[in-house]
Structure formats: C-alpha cells, structure tokens
Structure 1
Amino acid sequence: MKNIDKQANEQYFTAEPTAEHNYHHFDFELLGHQLYFQTDSGVFSKRTIDFGTRTMLEALSKTTIPEGKILDLGTGYGVVGIAVAKKFKRTVDMVDVNERALQLARVNAKKNNVADVTHIFQSDVYDNISEQYGLILVNPPIRAGKKVVTSMLQEAKLHLQPGGKLIAVLQKKQGAPSAQKNMAEAFGNAQVIHKDKGYYILESTR
C-alpha cells in the first residue's frame, strides 16, 4: 500500500496516472455542507481533505467574493469547486491536467448535486482557459516544480475580470513568501488574508 500511495503522490499532477486503481469513499463537512467524495490512487490527498485546502476554504469568510464565474485551478477530485458551488450557488469551472482526477470530480459533482453548475474539463494550467473569472482558487502542486507554481500564480491575472481575485494556499516552508512576491509582481498587490499551522492564504486583486 505504501508503494502505491507513493507512486500516486508522484503522479497526481500528470495527465494519465498509471498507479493501480484503489478507490476510497468518505464524507466531509466543508463550508457548512456535508459532502461525499470518491477518490482513487493517482490523485492528491486521496484519503481525506488536505489541511491546506480546508484552510483556504475557511479563509473565504475573511474576504469578499467578487461577482462572476469561479475557476478551481487544479481541482483534483473536485473538493474546492464542489464546496464553493454548493455554498455560494455559483457557476464553477473545474480544471486539472489529471484525467483520472477529472473523472472523479464529475462523479463527485453529480453525487453532491452541483453537476448543473460545474463545468469540468482538462487544462494544463491555463492552456484551455478562454474565459475571465471573478475568482480563481488554487492549491498549487508544489511537487510539479517552481515553474508550474509560478505560472499558476502570475498568469492568473490574464484570466480575471477587473476586480477579480486570485486566492492561493501555500505552506511557508514550501515557498509562501516567494509566492507572495510573485503575485505582487504580477498584480501590484498581494496580501496574506489568513494563516494557520504554517499555511498562508494569499490574495491578489486585478
């Protein structure tokens, strides 16, 4: 099991994970709603919702959510997109490079009754993104490397409507201060709106 999980963690940001299927199911309360998730090997944080994602979702109460569509960049099996669609009754685009994760996200959106307000499709970072959003949410895949993380943060401005926001979560020890500098470079502003156990929630506004 440990070898499978290690392989899964190494591949969650690839297009087609090769880890042997190992399905898992659990319920989790997020943003006041009890949600159901199906997961599998080859996706990030398959056994529970990771602390960084939970912290980012909790931090949404500390800011104003702009009008417009929401983009869940690097959705994995759909946690963030499903939670915000359920909470805010908003249209959410959920994208990931990982096809296995996207299949799970579709299953989970349907199970949680948000399939009608979610659009789930493959995109390597912003490659297949053509719209502008009111809010982009991202928990960057640190293991994918600095180039990918920086692209997710700095190119977000091109995909936000005026007044739109990028909100990202990173650990201090995994580069939150440099990520904040990258966001400030691109947007001209970047603030820490919440901290918890070494996780920083960063926000920039176009």
Structure 2
Amino acid sequence: MTEHYYSQRPSVASDERKIRVDVRGVSIDLVTDRGVFAKGGLDEATRRLIETVDLTGATSALDLGAGYGVVTAVLGRAYPLVEWTLIDINERAIDLAIRNTAGLAKKPIAIVHDGIPEEMDSVYDHVLLNPPIRAGKAVIYRLYEESHRALRHGGKLWIVIQKKHGAPSTFEELQRHYGSVETVYKKSGYFIFCAEKD
C-alpha cells in the first residue's frame, strides 16, 4: 500500500514549511511538513469543523487525528479554559502539533496512537474528528466507537465528512452508538454531525 498520512513513521524526507491560518477570528503561523495531512494549508473540511463547533462550557476536549495540531491551535485560543488532548498515529504530525500548540494558555497532552487508549474512559466533554478517509471504513468506525467510550455522559462527538466519502453511512453508524445524532452543518457536499452520548 502506498504510504500516506495515516502512517506511524513517514519515510518521506522532512521538508518543513510555515503556513498562515486565518479562521474563526484567529490568525496564526503554523509549521507543517511532508508526510502529514494537509501540509499545504488548512483543508476545507477542517476549516468548516473549526468554524462550526460549539465548546461553550467545556473543560476538556480531544482532537482525534490531530495532524499538525491546527484544530487545537485555533480552538485552544477561542476556548482558553479547555484542556486539550491531541492524538494521531503519525509521529511527525504529533511532533509538529506539540510545537504548534506551545503558545496556548493550557499545555495540551499529545499522544501517538492509532486510536483512543483504553484507559481514556468517560473523560472528555467533546471529541473532534475529521476522519482519516484513506485509512478505510473499519478504522473510521472504530474511532467512532472509541470516541463514545472516551466521552462523558452528555459529551459530544463532532465529525466533518463529505457526502462522497460516506456521510450518509456515517450518520447511520453514529445512530447505532449515540443517543442522538444531529446534522449541524450541510453545504457544498460537506456534512458536520454532532453525536451526543446518552
């Protein structure tokens, strides 16, 4: 299989670059690299997720599939009281994420893992995920289940996914695990679902 961003140790040579991100009233410079997702700049799906989520009143959030940390870097400034955890399978991405979130008021926890560790049970108010489509449906659906375990009662999983990448089937899968699933955004083929743990 061709190597892609869902690899623990990218073999492609490092070639770091700086990008400028302007979203949700936050303007920051971030460092990206080859072998990580959306190395050229903020991808459209993640932009829409960042602009849509509501973390009002939250104390903890998990940036699942964090990549180089753009979600936490932005929302950590928009919601400075939230304690963030970043998880990604990609070691290079997590190294970048640690650097890109170093300026936050609360230092995030960063973990290299292909999902959510079992000891993380009922600990988060929110989980945010732009699913790793290229990893396949089995991996993605496992992340939905693991997110349910990791959420507190009443916690919410936010997912952005395009229709062509399986939004309808994702909605059905979420309904199998969560008490309520709401489509909170739908435009230009992009869907954002908010699934609440009952």
With the shorter chain as reference, the TM-score category is: over 0.9
Query: Does residue 107 of structure 2 align to residue 114 of structure 1?
Result: no
1:16, CA displacement in angstroms? Answer: 0.4
Query: Does residue 26 of structure 2 align to residue 33 of structure 1?
Result: yes
Kindly report which structure 2 residues correspond to 1:45-194, keeping only aligned pairs within 5 A, or say none: 45-60=38-53, 63=54, 65=56, 67-89=58-80, 90-110=82-102, 113-114=103-104, 116-127=106-117, 130-131=120-121, 132-194=123-185
Kindly report which structure 2 residues correspond to 1:185-204, keeping only aligned pairs within 5 A, or say none: 185-204=176-195
8 Å CA contact 2:59–2:125 kept in 1: the answer is: yes
Report % sequence identity.
32
1:141, CA displacement in angstroms? Answer: 0.4
Kindly report which structure 2 residues correspond to 1:14-25, keeping only aligned pairs within 5 A, or say none: 14-25=7-18
1:126, CA displacement in angstroms? Answer: 1.1
RMSD: 1.6
Report the equivalent of 1:4.
none
Classify the secondary structure of the residue corresponding to 1:168: strand
CA distance in 1, matches of 2:85, 2:154: 19
More helix by share: 1
Name stretches of at least 5 consecutive residues in structure 1 with no aligned partner: 1-6
8 Å CA contact 1:66–1:135 kept in 2: the answer is: no
Kindly report which structure 2 residues correspond to 1:8-19, keeping only aligned pairs within 5 A, or say none: 10-19=3-12
Q: Aligned AA for 1:157?
A: H
CA distance in 2, matches of 1:148, 1:171: 17
8 Å CA contact 2:18–2:32 kept in 1: the answer is: yes
Q: What TM-score, normalized by structure 1, do the two folds share?
A: 0.89
CA distance in 1, matches of 2:58, 2:105: 20
Aligned residues: 194
